[in-house]
Structure 1
Amino acid sequence: MINFNGTLISPEDSKLSTNNRGYKYGDALFETLKVVNGKIFFWEDHYFRLMASMRILRMDIPMNFTMEFLEAEIQKTLKANDLINASARVRLNVDRGEGGKYLPTDTAQVNFNIVAEPHSNPFYTIKTNVSYKVDLYKDYYMAPGLLSGLKSNNKAIQVIGSIYANENDFDNCLVLNTNKNVIEALNGNLFLVKVDKIKTPPLEDGCLKGVMRKQILEILAKDVNLFIEEASISPFELQKADELFITNVIQGIIPITQYRKKKYGNEFAQKVVTKLNAKLRLT
């Protein structure tokens, strides 16, 4: 069952109008949530990122879009799909409704819809001895700036980059901005490990303001023996790193095992995953 503006409907009855602004112009935002036994991981961070993104896009946020209201709608959707006592992947989508061309009309009203599906692993784990090869995606570049970091429905680079990766037998690709700095992977933020120095691109470079990125930075900041830096990463730094890993809320941490001829370990990533799971147990 799909939750459309609070009404549960079957997928067969779910019909998106061709006048929907999310469909016509990508005038929409979304959050991808991991939920285990009804607990939404990092819900507060997801909610405030969504609200901040809606303000940046100058959407009129409905008065009832409180954190409690949207959480209740997510729980309702999980129950309708028999996923309240299971591990689930949930997508919460908001769009500006219908009306207008590029300029929305005064009658355009924000919609939301929620889709839930089963997810296999309730815990964050790292599979050892599993190859994960990446390369740079250089056909198109992201513009630096906070607008590029919104989780909007405009994902052309991620789509064609994923097709490129699949055609060339890569598991993922790393995205560059117009300054030719590495900003992220196609499906998550990037971290670089070199001895005791941990580096991740700054939001100003155009990377996603990832919820898992925030969790990892908070975990790392507690270790006084580490030097954490949010700074631009050039492609030349990748082959000098001891480890590279990708972060997102659904998978947690994904160690990169190979970039071109350079191979990487995952010892540091394993330690961070352990701390991440411990953090979840305490919250």
Structure 2
Amino acid sequence: MKTLYSSEISWENEIVKFGIGLFETMAFRNNNILFLDEHINRLTKSSLELKIGENHIESATRQLKKSTKTLNKTKAIRLTLSNSGYAIEERDIPYDISHYKRGFKLWVYPYKRGENPYYRYKTTSYMENYYARNTAKSKGFDDAVFIDYENHILECSSSNIIFRKDNTFILPSFSKPILKGIAVTKVIEELNKDFKIIEKNIPMNDIKVMDEAYVCNSLLGIMPVSSIESKDFSFDFSLSIKINNKIFQI
């Protein structure tokens, strides 16, 4: 990851000591940060509600636009915000057409998630997500799925999850402790043109009757899921390509 701009951070900083910070990960494509307003609005809302870095939002937004002016390739951009300042970084997006053709394999994280409201914010207190994702990868999976104490499916470590049954796409209820991603909102808008969309609690056992599954985030767009542990899904990756072409303005 390459740093484009950073305030000076010391070991005394809250973001270093306690993970008290916020961040947004955005896609830079076609000389443009996709869904910039939506990302900044979410960051601003979280900043004001949690009292983290609210004095730096305006300057961080200006610096973000300035720092990405010279980029000419598709990149992932991360803006991290703390009470002492902010940092802007860029890195390559590792996904290509081969990932969409084979789909993601998901592992079910064995530790149940509680009702902590902070799961609805994109904070730098990211140890659980980091550990779950790395453990999934060490086992040969692409990502981990979180479930709650009622065995309802929530989300993945870095993405939202969507299921399809017949002509209906089903999302886990956002009344649960879930971060509602920017990308999933855009994907739903596109899917809603041809399919029915519902939001409800999804018990883990219900995956047995689902026809397809997908994960969504701002770098992936919508990615097919080939399996959740022993449950295999068939899929037509062309739906993902069609939706992604729309939301990524390709």
Partner of 2:4: 2
Equivalent-residue separation in structure 2 for 1:120 and 1:148 (angstroms):
26
Question: How far apart are residue 280 of structure 1 and its match?
Answer: 4.0
Correspondence 1:223-234 to 2 at 5 A:
223=194, 226-234=195-203
Query: Is 1:270 matched with 2:242?
Result: no
Trace 1:1-283 onto structure 2 (pairs within 5 A): 1-5=3-7, 16-59=9-52, 61-62=54-55, 65-66=57-58, 70-79=60-69, 84-97=71-84, 111-119=85-93, 125=97, 127=99, 129-130=101-102, 132-138=104-110, 140-144=111-115, 146-223=117-194, 226-267=195-236, 270-281=238-249
Q: When the two structures are aligned, how many residues end up with a matched partner?
A: 248
Cα displacement (A) at 1:276: 3.5
Which amino acid in 2 is paired with 1:91?
Answer: R
Report the RMSD for the aligned CA atoms in angstroms. 2.4
In structure 1, runs of 5+ residues without a counterpart are 6-14, 98-110
1:38–1:75 CA contact under 8 A, matched in 2: no
Give unmatched runs, 5+ long, in structure 2.
none
| Deviation, structure 1 residue 126 | 6.5
1-structure distance, mates of 2:191, 2:137: 33
Change (3 A) 1:72 1:118: farther
* Other structure's SS at 1:205 match: coil
Q: Which has the larger radius of gyration?
A: 1
Cα pair distance change 1:87/1:280, threshold 3 Å? closer
1:108 matched residue in structure 2: none
Counterpart CA distance in 2 for 1:185 and 1:241 is 17
Contact kept, 8 Å, 2:145 with 2:157, in 1: the verdict is yes
Indicate how the Cα distance of structure 1 residues 114 and 60 shifts in structure 2: closer, same or farther if over 3 A, else same: closer
DSSP 3-state at the match of 1:144: coil
Are the aligned partners of 1:145 and 1:203 in contact in 2 as well (CA < 8 Å)?
no
TM-score (norm 1): 0.79
Query: Percent identical across equivalent pairs?
Result: 21
Runs of 4+ in 1 over 6 A off after TM superposition: none
Letter in 2 for 1:78: T
Paired amino acid for 2:92: P
For 2:146 and 2:122, locate their aligned partners in 1 and report how far apart those are by CA, in whole Å.
15
Deviation, 1:233, is 1.1
